[in-house]
A and B are shown apart, each in its own frame.
Chain A
Amino acid sequence: MDPQTERKAQKRRGGIFALLLFVNLLLLVLFRVGLTVPPEHWAFSFLSIFQNVFFDINKVVDNSMTNLREYRDLKKNYYQALVRLQDLEAMEKEYETAVEENKRLRNQLDFSARIEESHLSAEIVAYDSGRSFNAIIINKGSRHGIKKNMPVIAFIEGRIGLVGKIRETGLFSSMIIPVYDSSFFAAARFSRNRYEGLIQGLGTGQDYNLMLKHVNKRAIREISVSDLVETSGINSLYPSGIAIGNVKAIKSREYDTSLEIIIDPIVNFSKLEIVTVLLTKQEGNP
């Protein structure tokens, strides 16, 4: 390439770079001043279709792998003349799975019956692409009646636990901000002695722990480790009485007028598969 053509190519590259930088910064400034870009909703709807497809493929592959493994095991046992025993074991396994499934479904039914609000169950299909952000994506969207800011809960060992809130909806998918995200806030109180505070996520770097802030210092004599913290429902998106977590540690500084309490969330996010969205009416939503 001769020097003149090279210079032209360099200029073109620089021009394109400047243009792309401008577009990106413009989008960020629009966000900073509180304006949203409508096509984002449609792009999310479109891309989340592929995420759902990948989730389904994953399920099929998982099932196929399980089937292959079971087939290999059966074959091996056949050659060892243990067909009969193997069949019985397989039947026993299926029975156990059925019992487990039955138990789980019964729990879900009990759970559904216990929630007074209109609600909708959804499966988790994807997580945020990066570690610095904590979005969870579920396979139900605006087509199913989900709207921004709706509370998301889960049924954990006989209790209703807070998972987070809806951040964004696509047609067939929605994005959840989980309680452990540092942008998450909710009004909370102690289940036993009713002291109130504000819960905030601490991010995944702190083992999914949460921080309960602005708790009156007088509470220190009445609260203890493992006390239950729940939503207070005061000026909040969340109905009252949803369990958030248990007290893990209490921090009290002399110069501070309130306590800082570390909360261990009641929901085990590493094992969470199904969540329930409360279809409550939200401000600004019809």
Chain B
Amino acid sequence: MISQQLALCFCDVLRQPMPAGFECATIAELPGWDSVAHLSLMMEIEKRFQIRFRATELFAITTIPALIAVIEERQHA
């Protein structure tokens, strides 16, 4: 469920179709990604999942599984 919502969020912000193997992708390898888009993505994820990343996490989270783990952790906190 989180994975699907997250994929939609990436599609909207990066304006790209959903890539194959999204669930285990490295964020920086997704089509349309760059450092500016990265921050927009993180802000959008915060909004949609109603969570808040720590400042260091904004750049330290580099893979989709790691991102999903943080979202799950925050939602259950």
A and B associate in one complex: no
